[in-house]
Structure 1
């Protein structure tokens, strides 16, 4: 291949990736730079003021008395969502990977919430979880008095996590199902001939073989759990108190309700750092448990 041909090939490659590079620069890199710039200023839209304050917003972040409760709520929501979403998705995938009648119907049923509008899904669940809603109506039918799920500190976080789990569990279920169908049957047959039980085969054969998919779904679910907003805004508005005020909703309150755009930008930087750190940790730990990564 001549130098001219190699240059032409490189040019064609650059042309193919140019739209992606331009889109990333405009919609990812530029907004990140602007958020960092805004975090160094006190920007009050109502007062039409934009004043450079240096690191004052970051100092305010360290001194914010509400931030520990917000981070605690964020951690509880993320941990609950990741554990229950991945566990339920894997369980459903294993069940739907069997030779059962009506598998197509079941797969469609469990995946259908993924394509439903998030706001519509949340509003419906909001009505169901009210003190006189459908959930308590079913409990009353069997003689159990249900709480006001969204206004009780003990149940509000559980309710929000459950709504989100049921909304997105179908996506991870499909990913796990595809991974399970790619596990060679010969490995299970060999383990069975060696006397391995069903649980041992699942733990020693299936889990290692689908570990790359587990890594993918865990990263997607963790990042998604840290970006939740609509569910909180519709169901609880961060209450009762600050029990369900996660970081994204707190950012929204500071920036768009209290008009502290500089401090809101600082919270956005904090969110970015948390997401980046958790993603890097998961990526580094993959070498210890993901198949073919050691």
Structure 2
């Protein structure tokens, strides 16, 4: 018994239709519409989450920035651009932005360079590399607050770090209370916490570089530095772009480390923009001005991300 396919059945049905009969109408519920509905259902959870937890909060933050909201007095008054004028005249904001820039630059530079160095070293076929990979990645899965509290004890004047330095005859400073060491200490704590994530990303990219390229370079007499600069860096440049964007955005959103370790001190030497926003909104109850600072933070993150994305064609190998 012969089995006809769907197209053959359709052609046979058209041939058997009487002459002069109107063409059969296709139903509304076609396979194309079924596929479209299936695709919409697959992306629906992500779209609903983006609308509820990203787009609507962004709109509300901008709306709140146009108001003065006093929770204690239960008032919500429209003030227009008054909060933005206050932000432009804020004497503390230049110092906060300077600290934020120093913190972000230090964190991004140390994190990416150390992660790339560790990835190159652990990409070698040596004994014990799996143990070291696990060791460097394990801080990523540790609770952020627990990690920060432990480092707070270690960095005290009589903590573990100064105890280790004292064992070799070095008198260590009070790391979290010195103007020159507090910001550096927070950067180091954050780098050690998250360097494993970028290390794993770099390691995956390094393992995807074809070995034939290195073999050809060795035959030509290229040195290890030349192979790294001419082969490794261009081939992993897309991953460098990804990690740089992630690290820059993350550096501008650091809050728990500052709140637990230094509370923005000493003075304002570690008061980054996110912590300053928290102080104005939740300590001084200036929610309208806090929302204005949130808009400023959003614009900074947006501009930096767009700049990095637009510059990718100049140095990302696959985009050239």
Q: TM class, shorter-chain normalised?
A: over 0.9
One of 160, 176, 182 as aligned partner of 1:150? 176
Q: Give the equivalent residue in structure 1 for 2:269.
A: 243
- 2:118 and 2:46 map into 1 onto residues whose CA distance is 36
- 1:98 and 1:144 map into 2 onto residues whose CA distance is 35
Summarize deviations over 1:236-260 as a string: whole Å, max 9, x none.
0000110100000000000000000
Whichever structure has more helix as a proportion of its residues is 1
Summarize deviations over 1:86-131 as a string: whole Å, max 9, x none.
0000000000000111111111000000000000000000001001
Q: Give the equivalent residue in structure 1 for 2:116.
A: 90
- 1:22 and 1:138 map into 2 onto residues whose CA distance is 52
Aligned length in residues: 294
One of 242, 252, 256 as aligned partner of 1:230? 256
Q: Counterpart of 1:154 in 2: which secondary structure? A: coil
4+ long deviations beyond 6 Å: none
Summarize deviations over 1:9-30 as a string: whole Å, max 9, x none.
1111111111111111000000
Q: Give the equivalent residue in structure 2 for 1:59.
A: 85
Q: Which moved more, 1:128-137 or 1:7-16?
A: 7-16
One of 107, 122, 130 as aligned partner of 2:133? 107
Give the gaps of 5 or more residues in structure 2. Answer: 1-6, 8-25
- 1:276 and 1:57 map into 2 onto residues whose CA distance is 21
Is residue 300 of structure 2 the alignment partner of residue 266 of structure 1? Answer: no
Q: Counterpart of 2:91 in 1: which secondary structure? A: coil
Summarize deviations over 1:196-222 as a string: whole Å, max 9, x none.
100000000000000000000000000
Summarize deviations over 1:55-89 as a string: whole Å, max 9, x none.
00000010000000000000000000000000000
Q: Give the equivalent residue in structure 2 for 1:133.
A: 159
Q: Give the equivalent residue in structure 1 for 2:214.
A: 188
Is residue 226 of structure 2 the alignment partner of residue 200 of structure 1? Answer: yes
Give the gaps of 5 or more residues in structure 1. Answer: none
Q: Give the equivalent residue in structure 2 for 1:17.
A: 43
- 1:161 and 1:23 map into 2 onto residues whose CA distance is 32
Q: Give the equivalent residue in structure 2 for 1:29.
A: 55
- Give the CA deviation at 1:133: 0.5
Q: Counterpart of 2:318 in 1: which secondary structure? A: coil
Q: Counterpart of 2:180 in 1: which secondary structure? A: helix
Q: Counterpart of 2:319 in 1: which secondary structure? A: coil
- 2:126 and 2:38 map into 1 onto residues whose CA distance is 49
Q: Give the equivalent residue in structure 1 for 2:21.
A: none
- Give the CA deviation at 1:140: 1.1
Q: Give the equivalent residue in structure 2 for 1:167.
A: 193
* TM-score of the two chains, using structure 1 as the length reference: 0.99
